[in-house]
Amino acid sequence: MFESPEKTDPVTRIMHLIAGIALVAMMLVVVGDIVLRAVFNIPIQGAYDVVGIALLVMTMFGIAPVVARRGEIVIDLADSFLPEAALRVLAVVSALTGVFLFAFFGWAMFAPAMDAWRWGERSLELGLPKWPLWLIAFTGLVGIFWAYLLQVRQSLRKAPAAPDEEGGL
């Protein structure tokens, strides 16, 4: 089995921690809002905005650790009969495809981010400016690119291990 970059790479570990904190915050706000609304008829002011921001953070910071440890869904049809060199090439092509896909996402995100900055778009309940949320999303993209670079580096060193049934559905 290959060594997981998530265990040694501080960038993806920090991103994983941030995503986990965002998930816990989101769950606490949702549960707290439901309990306070049901028991005391007092909803948490701004719960909608907090959950939306936490969801953004969890998603954008949670993708990089998955990519870094090669946790994506893998179909291993060719792994049993292709030579290791071909598997390495396929792994590099796969990682570069991910880079191009997320680069496209970043390009598509640029115009709405600039609009939020120019026109001062604000959140629904708390009235928070939305442009910092775009900065969070772009920061997450940088982490995703870093994780794909780790994948390329690892694939050039040796072919990725075939997926096993331990984590299968």
**What's the pLDDT tens digit per position in 37-85?**
999 999 999 999 999 999 999 999 999 999 988 888 777 777 778 888 8
On the question of pLDDT at 143 being above 90, the answer is: yes
Terminal C-alpha separation, the chain: 20
Q: 14-36 burial, b for 16+ CB within 10 Å, e for fewer? A: ebbebbeebbebbeebeeebeee
Higher pLDDT, residue 20 or 85 = 20
| Mean pLDDT within 94-120 | 96
Average pLDDT, the chain: 89
Give the global pTM: 0.83
Domain spans, the chain? 9-72+81-157
On the question of pLDDT at 142 being above 70, the answer is: yes
On the question of pLDDT at 3 being above 50, the answer is: no
- Per cent of the chain over pLDDT 70 is 89
Asked whether 141 and 91 are in contact (CB, 8 A), the reply is: no
